[in-house]
Each structure stands twice: as structure tokens, then as C-alpha cells.
Amino acid sequence: MLCASRSFCCLGTRTYQLRTDLLSRSIKLSASDTMAFRHKNTRRIEGLDNNVWVEFTKVAADPSIVNLGQGLPDISPPSYVKEELANVAAVDRLNQYTRGFGHPSLVKALSQVYERVCGRKIDPLTDILVTVGGYGSLFSTIQALIEEGDEVIIIEPFYDCYEPMVKMAGAKPVFIPLRNKNDGNCASSADWVLDPGELAKKFNSKTKAIILNTPHNPIGKVFTREELQVIADLCIKHDTLCISDEVYEWLVYKGKKHIKIATLPGMWERTITIGSAGKTYSVTGWKLGWSIGPQNLIKHLQVVHQNTLYTCPTPLQEALARAFWIDYKRMDDPDCYFYSLSRELESKRDRMAQLLREVGLKPVIPDGGYFMIADVSTLNVDLSDVDGNQPYDYKFVKWMIKSKKLSAIPLSAFCGPETKGQFEKYIRFCFIKEDSTLDAAEVILKNWTKQTD
Amino acid sequence: MSRPVQARRLEGVDKNIWVEFVKLAATYSTVNLGQGFPDFPPPDFLKEAFTRALSGEKHMLHQYTRAFGHPPLVKILAQLFGKLLGRELDPMTNVMVTVGAYQALFCCFQAFVDEGDEVIIIEPFFDCYEPMVKMAGGTPVFIPLRPVFSREELELIADLCVKHDALCISDEVYEWLVYDGKEHVRIASLRGMWDRTVSIGSAGKTFSVTGWKVGWTVGPNRLLQHLRTMHQNSVYHCATAAQEVVAQGFQREFERYGKPDSYFVQLPKEMQQKRDQLVQSLVAVGMKPIIPEGTYFLVADISEFKSDVPDVPNSDEPYDSRFAKWMVKNKGLAAIPLSAFYCGPHKNNYNSFIRFCFAKEEATLKAADDILQKWKLEKTTP
């Protein structure tokens, strides 16, 4: 028993138990003679240090490079969003801690918006957790519900953090690729589909969850109701959870509709739906996201949250709540930012596709999101000068950055080891960019075939 | 599902004192000296910097910045802490920004504590240390202690760390709040310690902006590289705008370091006065405060007031917790029971102490005094 009980004396008299306690403890510890530093990282982060972003964002920080790589809007957020933050900055008490699981006015606003979208009652205090970005929601969900012995199905290509997060939780990722059923010139993200038979085989008694991303990054696929039903049927049959990453939910283009898998019968009770302020309002630097789901699941995410970072920043949450109220009130109005942003982006999407075609690339036209992939192998670029031991697309992007001053992201960063061969001819472009950025990209792409040194 | 849906790592870490006490304070308190946050505004220079940052045309302030810390912030942190630690720091490898010091602690435990590892926690402790160690699969080992460590005491700890090749996670969020001319000694500056120490700091406590949730870790690259791995696989980025403004705040302080108009000089002076004011109030009514040498908390012995809250034999709940709940409900004064900061088996060792936060405006401390005086009067008048 290490802790001798004692009473504190009043008014500043000190106790001097430290020396005795620590020394008596040290006698019990085995002394080590070696001075070699034995501390390495824990098993849970073994092998998780590499990251495509660390590699490519550094490169793209060079201002002479036209950056269509990282998913970073260079367009301005709507002015009222910036104004609300400025208003909030003036309120003293909003500079201190708020409610851990989510600032009250924000969770209230979120519950209103999503009640309307989902057509069901959502309790702001028990069914919502506010997190540090969609990323933080993914982390909280996986830490709360996934562990050693579990398998988690991940659809390829996937947002790259899914795999390391599942591994960090001690579970086994099980991959299934989207397959292009149409190799022609007018490829659309809708052509990339899951094979239902193949998907069914991936489910077993160990399958704890499937991670769904719709609209999909990087392909831009918006899963149809029928496709979601196939997934839902399997989740219900195998009693599996669904982690639905819907950060691009508002970025859906003409003719398509975003459907929340949580609204399908039997799915609310087993689904965590993730959203993002960064993607909704073009404020990726606010790093606010949320998880919505049934209380019996969200409560576990809240436990993770209270043991990881406890609360998210107050002023940003308050400003976000105010922005949400503005748009909630006009959800029937086409000027609502949730709809106007996707209209703005659709024309950028079309422009991007046109530019890529002119260079001889075959872009896959996305139905949603703000990324576009293109097969670059058709250009037959000579990559022999580029450092050898990497996938084709990594080499291509590095060559393109160096010789064309244009950056993108290699698609093989978004797939598991088995399918690198399938995806390494594609690269991903981000088109949520100002006209001036797209203009600069246009110059590069139009001059592509000219000789460069 | 036949087995629980949640992961085993959540076992035993679901209870949290704040969830309960913050709710109680919100519902009942008229004077909240419970949770540790200032009720006075942040310094003007910081508020102005925030407003300026937002009114400018720099809309990239609203987009992702460098994941391991916004460049202007890590640069100034490296400069300031390099000066304080007496060594050259590389902003890219020796500093990492986190979502408050809380997330810094989380990264440390997740990066370094594996199942089977023991972690020494000094009691009373900021309550998250224990569940974080447990969530990482570690075994907490508790040792009781007292507030501001003298250099001698830190040297003892340092010697043991070096002898047993242990790491030191040093939570120094209150590093600027030191009173009576005492010196805050940074353990990372002691011999043999830089290589094995991660020092944690907090903008919330440094600049009275707890709601901004900007914290940082400082340490050798061979330790910070693992924190970066953890960070990039958990939250990845921290909010840009807050980091930009904190960087400006630090720039200003760096230029004024040691001068009388430095916030780091003025804040502890103001807080010391508030400490003394609260001590006086408590002594006057018969509560026995332990005078802190640092931080903005003090702990007081409430034995004289025990008669108001009868003991309940065989209760699961420690006495001080019941006392604090009774006090907020019946007197409107919120404080935190000291047992919250002890591990389970030790919770009853110090069960007649409660913790008060004195980072409060004059009016708040006066209102607390009024409540205490009235209470005392009720006790003495038949």
C-alpha cells in the first residue's frame, strides 16, 4: 500500500511525504542498469506513420504549383458564415468551455436540420455528438465500437484514414472494390458498382461494421436506393453496424439524390451517420463534424469523446449553429447554401472534365462530391526518370508536379494492397477551386503536349 | 448482438465527474466556483487579434492548415519554449499542436502506453489521467502528492526516471500561474530529462480562452514522431483560426517577456489577489483552505460544515461528493469534491475537502462571500 493516509494541515503547512513514498516505491521496481532508451511506439500505431497527405501537401505548399490535390476549397465560405464567427468573437463567455458532447445551440440546430432530412425525431442531447471534423467522428465511432477480433468491410477506393483507424482499433479491414462496369469514353461515377455476390461473401459472423461513404471520395459516386438496400439487407442479416460517412451529403449534382442509409427500414438502430461543417460550409479549417445515431450507440461515442478531447471549440460551434439556423429557415428555398453550393460546383465540375478531356484524359464524371478521377495511363508519359519503387500513379503525380506544376493525388493511396494494380492508373483532382485556380490549370493542360524541360 | 456492442477499451472509463457536476452547476448554481474556467474576458490584445484575423480577406484562415500545427504558431512556440528550456527547438519536429492539452494527453498515452505498462499518477490528479491510461490498456499506479514542485522534488523524480528509463508526461498547463515569487521549474530542463519528457501546454489556461481548445506538446523528435502518428490517425488537423490568433498572442508575449505589461506577469498578479480574497472568505466562515502556490484552484477542508450534510453509512458515494451536491442545490454555490481527483480505492482518504476555482471576476467572488457569510450566520444563530 503506497499511499499513507494523512490529514492536511490548514493554511499552507506542507506535507513531505514525497521522498518517502517515491523511494519506497522505487525499491520495489527492478533497477535497470542499461541507459539505452527502450521506448518505442505502442503496438496500436505500429506501421501507421505513413500518410499520403504528409507526402503530398508539403509538395503542394509551393505557391508556384497549381494545387488540385488535397480536398481544400480555395473558394470563400459564404459571407454570413464568416460574419457569424466575427460576431461570436465579440462575446466573452463564448471563449470558455461549452458542453462536452456538443454546444447546446449547435446540437439543437443539427437536430432540426436532420429531423427534416431524415423524417424522424432526433434528440439533440442523446443522438448527436459534435467532433473535431468528420475525421474525429470516424475516430470516435471506430474507437467506441470496433475492437480486436472484429472485421470491418471497407469499400475501395476509400478515404485513406479508414484503414489505419480500423487497424489502430485492433480490427481487420476487409476490402471490396468498386468495379467499373463501363470502360468507354463517357464514364460516370454511377458506372462504378459493387458486385452484390462479392459483397455478400465478405460478410461473416466477425463482421462488426461496414464503412459506407456516399457521396463517395474519390470517385464521386452517389449510391442509389437499390444499392443501399443491398448493403442494408446484408447488415440486417448479419447484425452488422453501418458507419456512413456522408460528409459530402449536400454536394450532389443534377438528377441525383443523396439517400441516407439510416432512413432505410431496420437501419436507424445500427447506423452512425457522419457529417462535416468543413464540407457543408466550405470551412475545412473549422474542424467540426458530427455523428448522428441512436442513443445506445452514440452514448459509447460520447464516452470516447470525454476521454480523448472532451469538448470542441466554443466560438466555432456557436458560429456554426447560427449559420445552420440561417439555412434551416430556407431549406425550401433554392438559395439555401446546401443547394446553391452544389450548383456552383456543378459548373466547375463540367469545366474540369472538359479540360481533362482536351489533354486526352478520360475523366470519370462524379455525381457528387468535389473530386474527379481520371485514367492517366492513356497518356503514356515517360516516367523512367522518376524514383522507381512506387505505384504508377505516385510516379505520375510526382512527375506532373515537377514538370507541369500541377498537383493531384494518386488513387492507389485510397486502396488496399490487393487492388493497387487496379487503381494505380488513376489520379484524383479536386475542383472546389476559384476560377483563377481553374484558369491556371487550364493554361497548364492546354500546353500539356508542348515540350517542357 | 449477443455481446456488448461497444469495445472493451471503454470498460470502466464511462463515468465522468464533469458530466454530472457541470449539469448540476448549470441547473442550480448562482455562483459557480466548480469547473475550471475563467468567467472574466480574455485579454483585449487577444480579442482584437481574433477580430482582426476574421475581418481580413484571408479566407484561407477557414481552411485546413498544417496538420501538426499552424506554422506561425509552432514557430513562436519553438522560440518561446526554446528560450525557457535553454535549447534550440525545431518548430516542425519538436512541437505539435493539439485540440487542447486534453488531446495532447490522449496522444501521449495512446502513443506510449501499451497493455501491461504501468503509469505512475500523482494524487490528487486531473481526473482524465486515470481513464486515459486505462483506455490505453495501461495500469495506473497512484502516489499522493502536493501542488508546486520545488526543484529538489523534481530532481528526485528526474533521477528515478533516468534510473528506470521511464518517460515523463509533464502536464504544465498552469505554468504561468505561480504565486508568492515561486518558480515554475520545467522538468524537461533538468539533466537527462529532455530526451524522455513530453511537456504539455494550453492556450486555454495561458490566455484565459478555455473554449478555443488549443494545446501543444513540446519534446524530442523521437517521442513527438509517435504523437504525430497518433494525431494524424485521430483528429489530424486542429482549427486554423484559433491557432493563428494564439500565435499572435504568443508573439506579443515573447516581445514583452519579463516586462510588467506582459500578460504572463499581470495574470498571476491578479490571480494571486483573487486567491487571497477567496482564502479570506473561506477562513472567515470556518472552512480551512490550503493555500495554493500555483494554478487557479484551491482546496478547502469543510469539516466544520459537516453537520449540514449527515453522513450516510455504507454509501457508495464519497462524503465530499454528497456535500458538494447538497451545497450547490441548497446554497447555490458550486465546487468540486476532491475525491473526484483520487482513484477509486483512495476516494475516501480525503473526503472532507472540496475544490474551488478562483479564476473569477470580482463580483463572482463577492457573491460567493455573501453566500458563505449567510451560511455561517445560519449555523451560529440558534
> What pLDDT does residue B146 have?
55
> What pLDDT does residue A91 have?
94
> What pLDDT does residue B315 have?
81
**Chain A residue with minimal CA distance to B156?**
A19
**Chain B residue with minimal CA distance to A237?**
B1
Asked whether the beta carbons of residue B114 and residue A147 sit closer than 8 angstroms, the reply is no
Q: Which of A51, A135, A307 sits opposite B132 (nearest CB)?
A: A307
CB atoms within 10 A of CB A359: 18
B377 touches chain A (CB under 8 A): no
Write out pLDDT tens, residues B85-137: 999 999 999 999 999 999 999 999 999 999 999 999 999 999 999 999 999 99
Q: Give the 3-state secondary structure of residue A398.
A: helix
Asked whether the beta carbons of residue B9 and residue A86 sit closer than 8 angstroms, the reply is no
Q: Return phi, psi of residue A383, to 5°.
A: -105, 20
Q: Which three cell numbers stand for residue A293?
A: 445515431
The answer to whether the CB of A405 falls within 8 A of the CB of A65 is: yes
Share of chain B above pLDDT 90, in %: 83
Please report the residues numbered 214 through 253 in chain B whose beta carbons come closer than 8 angstroms to any beta carbon of chain A.
222-223, 225-226, 228-230, 232-242
Asked whether the beta carbons of residue B42 and residue A296 sit closer than 8 angstroms, the reply is no
- What predicted TM-score, i.e. pTM, was given to this entire model? 0.92
CB atoms within 10 A of CB B24: 17
Asked whether the beta carbons of residue B196 and residue A37 sit closer than 8 angstroms, the reply is yes
CB atoms within 10 A of CB A213: 25
The answer to whether the CB of A211 falls within 8 A of the CB of A155 is: yes
**B-chain residues within 8 Å CB-CB of A304?**
10
A331 touches chain B (CB under 8 A): no
Mutate to test the interface with A, among B236, B238, B296, B342 (most CBs of A within 10 A): B236
Distance from the Cα of A391 to chain B's closest Cα (Å) equals: 23
Residue type, B201: G
Mode of pairing for the β-strands spanning A151-156 and A172-177: parallel
Residue type, B181: G
Q: Return phi, psi of residue A236, to 5°.
A: -70, -45
pLDDT score of B151 more than 90: no
B17 touches chain A (CB under 8 A): no
CA-closest candidate to residue A42, choices B74, B195, B132? B132
CA-closest candidate to residue A416, choices A164, A234, A139, A204? A164
DSSP summary character for residue A386: S
B35 touches chain A (CB under 8 A): yes
CA-closest candidate to residue B206, choices B128, B150, B145, B271? B271
> What pLDDT does residue A451 have?
52
A136 touches chain B (CB under 8 A): yes
**B-chain residues within 8 Å CB-CB of A48?**
229, 233
B74 touches chain A (CB under 8 A): no
Write out pLDDT tens, residues B250-303: 999 999 999 999 999 999 999 999 999 999 999 999 999 999 999 999 999 999
Please report the residues numbered 32 through 61 in chain A whose beta carbons come closer than 8 angstroms to any beta carbon of chain B.
32, 34-45, 48-49, 51, 53-54, 57
Q: How many residues does chain A have?
A: 453
**Chain B residue with minimal CA distance to A98?**
B211
- Cβ neighbourhood burial of A58 (10 Å; 0-12, 13-18, 19+): exposed
CA-closest candidate to residue A145, choices A241, A247, A214? A241
Distance from the Cα of B271 to chain A's closest Cα (Å) equals: 17
A27 touches chain B (CB under 8 A): no
Strand boundaries in B172-257, DSSP class E: 197-202, 215-218
Mean pLDDT, consecutive 10-residue stretches, chain A (453 aa), reads 25 36 42 54 92 76 88 92 94 94 98 97 98 97 97 97 97 96 77 96 98 98 98 98 98 96 98 98 97 98 95 97 97 96 96 93 95 92 85 92 93 91 93 95 87 47
B152 touches chain A (CB under 8 A): no
Asked whether the beta carbons of residue A136 and residue B234 sit closer than 8 angstroms, the reply is yes
Mutate to test the interface with A, among B1, B6, B349 (most CBs of A within 10 A): B6
**Spatial distance between the Cα atoms of B29 and B41, rounded to a whole number of angstroms:** 20
**B-chain residues within 8 Å CB-CB of A44?**
110, 114
Q: How far is CA A157 from the centre of its chain?
A: 13
Q: Omega before A215 cis (within 30°)?
A: yes
**Chain A residue with minimal CA distance to B292?**
A12
**A-chain residues within 8 Å CB-CB of B9?**
143, 147
Interval B53-82 mean pLDDT: 92
Please report the residues numbered 259 through 318 in chain A whose beta carbons come closer than 8 angstroms to any beta carbon of chain B.
278, 282-288, 296-297, 300, 303-304, 306-316
How large is the ipTM? Answer: 0.94
Which sign, positive or negative, has the C-alpha torsion B104, B106, B110, B112? positive
Per-residue b or e along A390-404, where b marks 16 or more CB atoms closer than 10 Å to that residue's CB: bbbbbbbbbbbbeeb
* Cell 429531423 sits on residue: A115
Distance from the Cα of B344 to chain A's closest Cα (Å) equals: 13
B143 touches chain A (CB under 8 A): yes
Q: Omega before A157 cis (within 30°)?
A: yes
Considering chain B, what is the average pLDDT of its residues?
93
**B-chain residues within 8 Å CB-CB of A34?**
165
* Cell 449547435 sits on residue: A106
Asked whether the beta carbons of residue B103 and residue A308 sit closer than 8 angstroms, the reply is yes
Residue type, B344: G
